[in-house]
Amino acid sequence: METAVHITNLSVNYGKTQALQNIFLDVSEGEFLGIMGPNGGGKSTLLKAILGLIPVTTGQIQIYNKAHMKNRSEIGYVPQFSNMDKQFPISCIEVVLTGQLKHGLAPFFHYSKKDKMTAWEKLERVGIEKLANRQIAELSGGEFQRLLIARALAVNPRILLLDEPTASVDAVSREQIFTLLEELNREKTIILVTHDLLAISSKVKKLACLNGTLVYHGEPEVNDKIMKQLYGCPVDLIAHGVPHRVLREHKEEE
């Protein structure tokens, strides 16, 4: 199976503060990888490093066997918090169209018929094509997140990176988004940063636990030792009606 993302000995510093150190990680094509860890553990930093949005201190990142800066067109990105002003007078289809811009707007620029058709198809793909002409200020949290996914899909990426796409949506919207991601995973590699234990236990195929360095990478079921190493204290999972486990059964330490 082809390797979609290959990370070797990655370290990232913000000034004198080390955000990531010694990260070795391979993500296979078609994988659905969940990344979890404490706030400030470097999860968003890792996604930005893969995208080439921040400089790396040491190490290498390859996307389909090419340097990541030369292969960024293979990646679609849904940020944790959009910088978009939701009061800005722009429609949903116009937002998706901006995802196809490669060099920004130029004088007298106009989108082609093909661009507009692609934008419509992406809105249809995420289930909000009926909202194409609606102003973004009128969207619910779940609708807005699906809009951002449609925008990320506008360049037809092979890899989709998402930074906590369900952090600010209700339970129904959360399930709809995860169902959509499962469907997209049939044709795309997905890397998802999330704190949602339901997603980790029942949706993702592989799990990476990150706290400055990679604590665990493997099946989406970890033990109490790994969780303690990740969060610095014992962790118990309480699930309500969910037939999956993230933590194996364990006894308290004596």
What domains does the chain contain, in order, with CATH numbers?
A: 3-82+157-231 (3.40.50.300)
Q: Could you read off the pLDDT of 26-43 as tens digits, one per residue?
A: 999 999 999 998 888 999
Q: Could you read off the pLDDT of 74-123 as tens digits, one per residue?
A: 999 998 866 667 788 899 999 999 888 765 555 556 778 998 999 999 99
Task: Tell me: pLDDT of 204 over 70.
Answer: yes
Grouping H, G, I as helix, E, B as strand and the rest as coil, residue 21 is strand
- Give dist(CA 43, CA 39) in Å, integer: 8
What would the DSSP string read from start to end of 34-76?
EEE--TTSSHHHHHHHHHTSS--SEEEEEETTEEGGG-GGGEE
Query: Tokens 């995973």 belong to which residue?
Result: 185
- Give dist(CA 66, CA 42) in Å, integer: 24
Q: Could you read off the pLDDT of 147-183 as tens digits, one per residue?
A: 999 999 999 999 999 999 988 888 899 999 999 999 9
DSSP-based helix, strand, coil % in the chain, nearest 5: 30, 25, 40
Report which secondary-structure segment, H or E, holds 163: strand 159-163
Mean pLDDT confidence for 122-149? 95
Mean pLDDT confidence for 187-194? 95
Instruction: Using alpha carbons, list the distances in angstroms from residue 169 to 21, 108, 143, 202, 245.
Output: 32, 38, 9, 19, 23
The mean pLDDT of the chain is 85
Burial code (b: 16+ CB inside 10 Å, e: under 16) for 215-238 equals bbbeebebebebbeebbeeeeeee
- Give dist(CA 181, CA 184) in Å, integer: 5
The proportion of the chain whose per-residue pLDDT surpasses 90, expressed as a percent, equals 57
